[in-house]
Amino acid sequence: MSADGESARDVQSALSVLPPPRACLSEHLDSITGVRLPGKPSSSLWDVSIHDGRISSVDQHDASNTRVQNEGTEVVHDNIFDGSNRLLAPSLCHAHVHLDKCFLLQDPKYSDLQIESGDFQEAMELTGKAKARFDQDDLVRRGRTLIEESISHGVTSMRAFVEVDGGVQFKCILAGLKLKAEFRDLCEIQLCAFAQLPLFSGEDRGEETRKLMKIAATMEDIDVLGSTPYVEEDPTKQEANVHWISSLALANGKHLDLHLDYFLEEHKQPLVGTALEIIKGYKWIENQGKQITLGHCTRLTRFNVEEWRTLRQSIGNLPVSFIGLPTSDLFMMRTHENLRGTLPIVEMIQRHGLEAAIAINNVGNAFTPHGNCDPLSIASLGVGIYQAGTKQHTEILYEAVSSRAKAAIGCESTSLGLRIGDPADFVLFNRPSDGRCRKSISEVVYDAGSTRATIRRGRWTGKA
């Protein structure tokens, strides 16, 4: 049997012994009382009722309904929780995070693989050496840490990339499937089978990776197929990459995620317009294609107003969202003149009418050595990057790691307005006793603090 056949059989065998899900920390809540809400006056308190994991009503606070006597103590009686004047907001989302490559710089197993030049080529080389050492215990251990830390920050959904190629075979996928099963009641984990290496370039012209990706595409718990056209050796092969991965995603009913145009030089032409035309050629809408996300796209930062207008027209009614990855982009992407860039997400949303979000991408590896698992750290960074400090701006930045991020990857989201019928997916911010009590979305985007509690479908999943 071929190597890919043996790997596929190993995955199927492992799927029969997936771990049971972790238990949530509480029974279903019926209501959360006495909380501040986004968009409401900071002096007013509200009661949020929950039924079957969804918001059933939002009412002015009735003190007689509060059955917890000790203010600020996280105790639930009769499934009613006293929010004690804390801010309750929609939960957070990683629209783009690499599950298999996290914490490589901090892990003793990879302590010899440290950054020296800090460029893209070095990051690829260091990551390639690390991948040669990957094993199941290692992948699950580091991935579990990423998920646990993310949940503690308020994350209830994520798109997690797991690489597929001739070196790792299905190791990363199998680790992702185990973690998806373990955390399925605490966090919605979308797995993206991801071809980081070329599909049509190199010694074998990507043949082995294509074989493995075809198998991955048939797996029920793989939600997304992704690739990196920019790693191909010429424009013709880049287009072939887009053709191949788009048709595979469409044929298997998967979301499509392209890492695209990861450069800044103006003399290099972006692929985004051609990619959109290729996808349209497959009659994406007519054939019920799923969500399309385009990550990085740093070359678009050089667009003028007319080019943005042309891009919006090219998208038409395709379900396309852009994902900005500021921490990675600003570390990796620089020209010889030290010009740096990342997608202008706020402007794209406000001025150009595009769907967009921001995400952490990597944590603790050569592509992104700095940062942590908190999506709000990226929103806070966005205040400075995009010069976006107004109330309206900060609400957009919050949505970019919450409702807009979830919509970008095709997940159901809770709106900033906490509408009736929305999922009861929340993050509850710090207590008044902690000193600086955040009372608004602007305040948590400026500085979210470290004390939070996470609620998914009306049940506690993580406290901090």
pLDDT, tens digit, 9 for 90 and up, residues 47-63: 999 999 999 999 999 87
In a domain, 216, yes or no: yes
Give the residue from 361, 392, 408 where a domain finishes. Answer: 408
Can you give the pLDDT at residue 70?
41
Tell whether 70 and 173 lie within a shared domain. Answer: no
The enclosing H or E element of 40 equals none
Give the residue from 373, 388, 408 where a domain finishes. Answer: 408
- Compute the average pLDDT of residues 5-13: 64
In a domain, 24, yes or no: no
Q: In the structure, what pLDDT confidence band is assigned to residue 403 with cuts at 50, 70 and 90?
A: very high
In a domain, 54, yes or no: yes
- Compute the average pLDDT of residues 110-117: 91
- Compute the average pLDDT of residues 378-393: 95
Can you give the pLDDT at residue 1?
37
Can you give the pLDDT at residue 204?
87
Letter for the amino acid at 36?
R
Tell whether 191 and 124 lie within a shared domain. Answer: yes
- Is the confidence at residue 239, as pLDDT, over 90? yes
Between 23 and 248, name the one with better pLDDT: 248
CATH code for the domain in which residue 53 is found: 2.30.40.10
In a domain, 26, yes or no: no
Letter for the amino acid at 169?
Q
CATH code for the domain in which residue 149 is found: 3.20.20.140
- Compute the average pLDDT of residues 376-390: 95
Tell whether 213 and 78 lie within a shared domain. Answer: no
Give the residue from 363, 390, 408 where a domain finishes. Answer: 408
In a domain, 25, yes or no: no
Tell whether 76 and 210 lie within a shared domain. Answer: no
Can you give the pLDDT at residue 207?
95
Tell whether 153 and 289 lie within a shared domain. Answer: yes
In a domain, 7, yes or no: no
Tell whether 174 and 294 lie within a shared domain. Answer: yes
Q: Are strands 459-463 and 453-456 parallel, antiparallel or unpaired?
A: antiparallel
pLDDT tens digits for range 310-359: 999 999 999 999 999 999 999 887 766 777 899 999 999 999 999 999 99
Tell whether 287 and 425 lie within a shared domain. Answer: no
Can you give the pLDDT at residue 332?
81
Tell whether 69 and 96 lie within a shared domain. Answer: no
Q: Give Cα 312 distance to the centre of its chain.
A: 23
Can you give the pLDDT at residue 26?
78
Phi and psi, residue 266, nearest 5°: -65, -30
Tell whether 349 and 429 lie within a shared domain. Answer: no
pTM for the model stands at: 0.92
Q: Are 180 and 17 in contact, with CB atoms under 8 Å apart?
A: no
Give how many domains the chain has, as a whole number: 2
In a domain, 16, yes or no: no
Between 144 and 6, name the one with better pLDDT: 144
The enclosing H or E element of 380 equals helix 375-385
Can you give the pLDDT at residue 19?
79
Tell whether 43 and 132 lie within a shared domain. Answer: no
Can you give the pLDDT at residue 185?
94
- Compute the average pLDDT of residues 382-406: 96
Tell whether 389 and 404 lie within a shared domain. Answer: yes
In a domain, 2, yes or no: no
| DSSP codes joined into one string, 354-376 | --EEE--B-SSBTTB-S--S-HH
Residue span of the structural domain in which 224 resides:
92-256+265-270+281-305+314-408
Tell whether 168 and 82 lie within a shared domain. Answer: no
Can you give the pLDDT at residue 69?
40
Q: Give Cα 396 distance to the centre of its chain.
A: 16
